[in-house]
Each structure stands twice: as C-alpha cells, then as structure tokens.
Amino acid sequence: MSSMSSEIHEEIRRLTTALIQQQQQDGSWRFCFENGTTIDAYVIILLRTLNIQGNENLVRQLHDRILIEQQPEGSWKLFPDEEEGNLSASVEAYYALLYSGYSRTTDEPMRRAKRFIQTKGGLGKVTSILTKAILAATGHSKWPASISSIPLELLLLPASFPISFFDFSGYSRVHLAPMLIMADRHFSIKTSHAPDLNDLHVDRNDTDEQLPREFHETLDRIQTGLNRLIGTPRYIHEAALTKAEQFILQRIESDGTLYSYASSTILMIFALLALGYDGQHPLIAHAVQGITAMRCSFDGKTTMQNSPSTVWDTALLAYAMQEAGIADDHAAIRSAAAYLLSRQQRKPADWSLHNPNITPGGWGFSETNTINPDVDDTTAALRAIRSLSRTDPSYRDSWNRGLNWVLSMQNDDGGWPAFEKNTNKQMLTWLAIDGAKSAAIDPSEADLTGRALEYLGNFGGFDIRHKFIKNGTDWLINHQEKDGSWYGRWGICYIYGTWAALTGLKAAGISSDHEAMQKGAKWLLSIQNSDGGWGESCRSDRLLYFVPLEESTPSQTAWALDALIAVHSRPTAAMNNGIRTLIGLLRENNRAASYPTGAGLPGNFYIHYHSYRYIWPLLALSHYIRKYEG
C-alpha cells in the first residue's frame, strides 16, 4: 500500500470515527446551518418589537455574535471576500444592535457602521426585499412599491389564468403572502424603545422606486385576471384577505413555524399583527418558540438557523459512511436510517398541485418540515437507505414511495426542480424584487438534475436506455456553459454544478469520452489552485461567471475531485495532488474551512454547512479508494 493510500485510509477512519462519536441518540446528526447575521438581526428586532420576556440571554448572545462579525470599516458582509461590504446586511445589523439595548449610537462600532451605511446611500439604497419588509413593518420606511403594487386579490386567481399565486415557487409564496397582507394594510408597529434610524435616510427622494417596464407588464396581466372576478371590489378584497390568512395558517408546522423557515415565520408574525391578532396570541407565542428553538451554538458564539439542516445532514452522512465501508447493519447506520424513515413525508401538500395523483414519499430539509419535500433531500435519504431496502420490508416500501416520487417530479423539459414541478413562468422573474430571478420560480437546475441522475443511475439501476434518463442527460448537456462548466443553484457554484452534472451523466451511462464529459473535466483542471485544491467565491453566484477564491476549501476541493474520479479511469498527477491537499485541509481550521459554500438566494443568502467538511471529503476519498484500489 502506497503512502498516499495509507493516508487516505487513515483519514477515512478518522472521519468516520468522529462522526460515530457525534451522532445523536435519535440517530440524527445535528450540525450548524450557519447563514450570516441576517436572521440573528431579525430575531432581535422581533423579540424587542413584541416585548417578549424570557429571551434576554439569547438577545445578548445574538448581539455579541453580530458585533464580532463587523468589518474594520464598519460594514457587515454576506461572505468574507464580498467587496465593499453589504448595505442590507449592515442596516440589519446596525438596527438590531441598537434595538438590543447592548449597543449605543455613541459606541465606536456603531459610529463606523453609521458612516458606512450613509456612504452607501442609506436606507433608500437597500436592495434586499426582506430588509425592506422588516424596515417597513417596524415603521422605519414605507412599504416598497415592488410589494405594495401587487394586489392581494392575486391569491384569488385560479390556476387557469396566465398568472396565479401558485405559479410562484413555494419559497416565494410563504414569504410573499405575509408581505402582501402587511403592505395591503399599510401595517407598521413601532415601540417606544425602537432606535431612531432617521439619520440613515440620506436622500428622502430615493424612496420612490423606479419600477421597470416588465414589472408593469406583469401587473397588467394580473389586473386582466382580476377584471374577470365576480363581485364588488370590497367583497373581492375581503375574500382575498381571508384567503391570504388561511394560506398562512394552513402551512404552520407543529413547531409553530411557517413552512419551517425562520424568515417566513418572522414575516408571518408581523402579518398576524396586521390582521389584528394580539401579540400574546398562542399562534404568535408558538411561532416565537419555534424560531428561538432554531438557535445553534459553536466556538462560543450563538446564531439563528433559518432552517436547521438535520434531515439533509443525516441522510448525506449515513450515505457517505456506507460509501466509506461502514456496513448497513452497523448501529450508526441502522439508527440513522430509522430516523430518516420517521421523517419521510406521507401526505399531499403544495407540491401536488403541479404534480397531482402521485403517492407522497419525499423528504424535506429540516426535522420539523412535514409539508415541503424536495428532490435533493429525497435522493439523499434514498441513498442512505438503499442497502436496507433490499432486506427490510419497511425500508423497501419507503424506497419505492421515494423513488416513484422523484421520478414523478421530473419537469417536462427533462430536468429536475427543487420543490415543485413545472414552476417556471419567466414573467414572474420580471417583478422588481431583488432575487426574483432565483426565488420567484423553481426551474430545472443542473445540480438538481445531475444529483437526480446520479441517484437513479448508481442506486436505481436506470440508464440512458430509459427515456426519462435520456431526457435528463439531454437537458444537462444542452445547459453546459461554453467553457465546459455548469451553474449550480444550491451550492457555490460552478464547481458545485459541474460536479453534480459530471457525476450524474456518468451514472446515467454517458461515456467519459463524450465531449461534454471531457470539457467539464478539462474546465475543472483549468481552475485548480496552485496548492492543488479548488476554491470558488460566492461572487460567482451573483455575477454568473466563475470567480476564483484564492484559498482552497474542503468541500469545493472534494466536489472537483469526486467529479474527476467519475470521469477518469486512472488517477492523474493533478488528482493525486488534490487528494493530498484535501487531507491537509481537513486537518486545518482556517478561514477557508468556514467559507460559505452553500447557496440559498443569490446575492442575499449563503450558508456555511458545518457538516460539509465531513460529507463531501469522505465521499471523495472513499470513491477514490473504491475505484482505484477496488
């Protein structure tokens, strides 16, 4: 056995031993889903607005975490190499720190933050729609026209109309409905203890939004549909308000959250206040409990997770450990599989509106998520239970339900979406909402399609002789970038998409000699860092072209290696160099190790998955050994 082979085996043993030790009693793994300071700030603002007692320690911890993330020039960033800081994140942080009561305007960090915000144009230049909504809901700005111009009656339009509410993605709907309610009622609530943000209004005239022509065209389409509704304007409006309220109430999870997202739950609470609910109402109290339960502590810091990644992490880790040689009858695998089996969703939900008459069988991202399954989590869970499904009838039924659900979710264009089938009306991306191009719709994506094909090929036994697999591979090949890469929606970014596409195409039966495979592998090698690893900036996600990160990250290095392992029949010198670098990265705990490589909303929301330093390196190392050492 070569020295490098010994190192790989030793690293696999080290990773699997550490994971077994960190597994929870219920079989899950609970790693932090770290997503910047935005949700931390919103939670402080919410708790202070509601004047809720009993969470003072949490407020102080969140305050301290936000403060420690401030940059020297006074800004806050969404990712370390974001140029010039982020105005929306800085406004949120400044507002929350003052509202907490633990910072004052005279403190030097607050003075620096104020200068940064003013030099960037102040509140009127904020772009994040969530930031704008929080500012409007708490009385610091008027409701943006991009929201207030959308009539609440949109919720009454049937699916047969050119635009209806359910044409929006599920993620958009649960955020849009509360905002539409608040904007419709011109709602705001401002307490006597709220900080004064008037100094952040640099130009009073810049609050008048210039809405693009396409936005007005979309509104005209909506109005055309509204003109066909029967009833007096007042009756129709009251019906729409009731519809919006019921839409929210019907999607509250058992932990009190809306769709298991902290962000939509915070908006829901403000919307309920706008509808006349008392601040002490049980629904609001329960929602606050659900949000505060999402806290996560690490390295002496506390942060709020927007949606804990427990199911996702547990599924991927159980699968990775089996790829690393842990038997399916090992207690850790059995326990994880039982946990996953208990989280399979078995009731129709919003996804079935676009995909009717299909037996439920998907998995969601978070533990409390019971009505919002997605393709990526489902294939992850199915990989984890594959071996057990061959011997245990209960897992076999679960496998069959999940497999059929994944197959049913394929879009008509051949690719796979995240949450809902055929939800791709481009007109909705014309809305004057930052991030609408990514959030308003749920189209086929290269990473989702590649991962679905990898599962169906390597675990389902299908290949390009099956028409649905051929359609999926055709979609991927047709969406390859000119340089050979693919864009990945839910990871950063071109490395992530290219890894998913290449491993998916290979599993589906596409030859390594195929032009698309060769171009993809060549592109990955062309962007390899001088240290042997790979790294990509979150800036790629916004600019829509590859932006290198000077440092190599463990997850991105693992993705690149796993893709090259799938393509090459023998390891190359570049690959072996990458393997050595990956092992070295796993033994360090520098800035690159915590760089966010997960994507939520381009330009607004990035994630550092604390689990990723285990999952993807373990898979890459295990696949290297399996393929090249047998």
- Strands of the 33-34 sheet, one edge to the other: 33-34, 605-609, 598-601
**pLDDT at 147 (0 to 100):** 92
605-609 and 33-34: which strand pairing? antiparallel
Whole-prediction pTM: 0.96
* Planar angle of CA 439, 274, 254, nearest 5 degrees: 65
Coil, helix or strand at residue 76:
strand
Centroid of chain to Cα 15: 25
Can you tell me which residue has the tokens 């770290």?
34
Can you tell me which residue has the tokens 């959250």?
257
**CA dist., res. 377 & res. 380, Å (int):** 5
**CA dist., res. 304 & res. 297, Å (int):** 9
**pLDDT at 110 (0 to 100):** 98
* Planar angle of CA 160, 474, 312, nearest 5 degrees: 75
**pLDDT at 439 (0 to 100):** 82
Tokens of 245: 């309220």
Is 196 among the catalytic positions? no
| Residues of the chain by 3-state class (helix, strand, coil), percent to 5 | 55, 5, 40
Of 376, 442, 541, 562, the active-site residue reads 376
Cα separation values, 318 from 27, 132, 305, 394, 560, Å: 10, 40, 22, 18, 21
Residues of the chain under the 70 pLDDT cut: 1, 204-209, 430-437
Residue type present at position 350? D
Q: What is the pLDDT of residues 460-502, one digit of tens each?
A: 999 999 999 999 999 999 999 999 999 999 999 999 999 999 9
Residues pairing with 607 in the sheet: 598
Contacts (Cβ under 8 Å, ≥6 apart) of 51 = 191, 279
* Planar angle of CA 155, 167, 541, nearest 5 degrees: 125
Tokens of 224: 């055309």
Continuous H helices in 343-440: 351-354, 375-389, 393-408, 436-439
**CA dist., res. 12 & res. 17, Å (int):** 8
DSSP classification of residue 171: H
